[in-house]
Amino acid sequence: MSVGDILSILMFVAFIALIFTGFPVAWILGGLAVLFTAFGIIAEVDFAVPLAVNWDYTALTVDRVWDVMNNWVLVALPMFIFMGLMLDRSGVARRLMNDFVRLFGGIRGGMAITVVLIGVLLAASTGIIGASVVLLALLGLPQMLERGYEPTLAAGTVCAVGTLGILIPPSIMLVLMADRMAMSVGDLFLGALFPGLLLGSLFVIYILGYAYLKPSAAPVPDDTEPVNMALLLDVLVAILAPAGLIIAVLGSIFFGIATPTEAAGVGAFGATLLAWFNGQLSLPVVKSVLQETSRTTAYIFAIFIGATAYSLVLRGLGGDALIADILHGLPFSPTGVVIAILFFVFILGFFLDWIEITLIVLPLVSPVVMSLGFDLVWFTVLFAVCLQTSFLTPPVGFAIFYMKGVAPPEMSARTIYRGVIPFILLQLIGLICIFLWQDIVLWLPSQAY
């Protein structure tokens, strides 16, 4: 094993270890990049070990960071974040919740199904996990508990459905992946649409089956409203606004009318109009949304800069070649290698945030996947679905933390953890379906082009 290999392993192990200190991830990544650049220079100067990481390499790191910050694709990130936060304030979800509850109230498990359907619409409108989980918890959780729903079912439904926003386009995770992989954002958006809808469908099927097998877990209220044309019209009107915004954003991308950056601007403007139309637009709301957008964007870009420097130094030490050799050396078929990568990512999701895994691990393993002959769009969407489970798996399940922050005091963390277990299994079933039938991902992009 060469000196570069040893330094690469130490660099990765140091990152995993320092994550648990609670120190900001961006500083950990940037600090390790600087530290191991120094180690590379010392190895070359004092021990005559030839490494790519030297004084000249530091200039390359600065140039690469500048290229990242000068990328127009990433302008879509703050726009999509603004769009999601403004929709959160617009009151659209509250109206949808009220009308969907009236429509599905007579179905056993109908309240949970309502949460799933609204969660899918929010996912296609926001792409922000925290906003989706908190909003669904505030709107749907109290009503489910009041109607006698099993707390674990109610908590699990809200947490799992809230995570769909990271997968169903427009997704900020897919934007980051596309930039990191030098891929088309439109291809990833098209490829992720059916997998996201598949997961939502699996959630609905599970809720219906569980409510049928255990009626006490999702009782039907006595005061259900009969379904008539007036009710259907109310639901249709409530859907029109968010559906129109989704079509304007995704349709303009899918049909080549606008770039993702331009479509993000359309979405931000449309969300602002919806808030104004619903009487929720005010100076304090705009100020709050802008401040939250700035904080979230700064957090993501700080990690982006740190991860760019970290990844570049890791590559200079030979870390990418080391990982490729390890994966090619596994005693598995090409399919087995992909399964091993996904299993490794699933385990990492217990401890790391999706941003770090996306920015560091995905670029290192994707060349190996391509060399094995797999489609990169398919693998990237698989990677994204696998990462989605990281929001539900302890100890760093962010959806669980968001949920606990707004849940009633009597709902314990243990109840929430128990509630998400079936949905983690459902997400793994969805992952297996996408793995076995690649056309779930590839059919729509192939038809579009």
Residue 343 included in any domain: no
Residue 148 included in any domain: yes
Is-contact 171 129, C-beta < 8 A? no
Residues 187 and 221 in one domain: yes
Residues 23 and 96 in one domain: no
Residue 256 included in any domain: yes
Distance, in Å, from the CA atom of 307 to the CA atom of 301, rounded to the nearest integer, reads 9
Residues 175 and 86 in one domain: yes
More confident residue, 398 or 190: 190
Residues 191 and 221 in one domain: yes
What is the overall mean pLDDT for the chain?
A: 83
Residues 97 and 175 in one domain: yes
pLDDT given at position 438: 93
Structural domain boundaries enclosing 51 = 1-70+307-317
Residues 66 and 77 in one domain: no
Of 295, 317, 339, which residue sits at a domain end? 317
Confidence tier at 12 by pLDDT (50, 70, 90) = confident
127-166 pLDDT, tens digit per residue, is: 667 667 877 887 788 888 888 889 999 899 988 988 888 8
Give the chain's domain count: 2
pLDDT at 261 over 90: no
Confidence tier at 396 by pLDDT (50, 70, 90) = low
Residue 11 included in any domain: yes
Residues 143 and 274 in one domain: yes
Residue 13 included in any domain: yes
Q: What is the mean pLDDT of residues 266-290?
A: 88
Residues 65 and 83 in one domain: no
Residues 312 and 276 in one domain: no
Residues 125 and 199 in one domain: yes
Of 317, 343, 370, which residue sits at a domain end? 317
Residues 81 and 139 in one domain: yes
221-230 pLDDT, tens digit per residue, is: 766 667 677 7
Residues 53 and 122 in one domain: no
Residue 335 included in any domain: no
pLDDT at 48 over 70: no
Of 266, 298, 317, which residue sits at a domain end? 317
Residue 297 included in any domain: no
Residue 125 included in any domain: yes
pLDDT given at position 5: 79
pLDDT at 120 over 80: yes
